[in-house]
Amino acid sequence: MKDFELGAIQERFAGIVWEHEPIASGELAKICERELNWKRPTTYTVLRKLCEKGLLQNKDGIVISLVSRDEFYSAKSEQIIEDSYRGSLPAFIAAFISRKNISAEEASEIQRMIDSFKKEG
């Protein structure tokens, strides 16, 4: 998957598309005016940039995502682990839980996920 570097505003814009897709570009501009206080040209500029990055597609005035929200955030998480923890998932988890206690239920859920992946792998 491509590395999608998005600023906070672009990410928020993508979130609007993910929430409403498929959506007509004119309707997207109206939503952005309401939610982001943008003028129509701003919406189309950001849309064009995200289309150029390969995240979105605007075909015949209908906007869809080419990368799902889950795929995007999964890749973003992988990049954070790679950049900040030298690719070590255990180091990331250790850092995360050292600052935030997890419940027994969360720990059990994580263990079930690990066990499931072990069986598949």
Q: Domains for the chain: give ranges and CATH numbers.
A: 8-69 (1.10.10.10), 88-121 (no CATH)
Torsion of CA 59, 3, 92, 96, to 10 degrees: -40
Q: What is the pLDDT of residue 3?
A: 64
* 3-state SS, residue 3: coil
Distance (Å, rounded) from C-alpha 8 to C-alpha 104? 33
Q: In the chain, which residues have pLDDT < 50?
A: none
Distance (Å, rounded) from C-alpha 93 to C-alpha 95? 5
Q: What is the pLDDT of residue 16?
A: 98
Q: pTM of the entire structure?
A: 0.79
Q: What is the pLDDT of residue 68?
A: 96
CB 81 within 8 A of CB 88: yes
Contacts of 22 (CB under 8 A, 6+ apart): 62, 63, 64
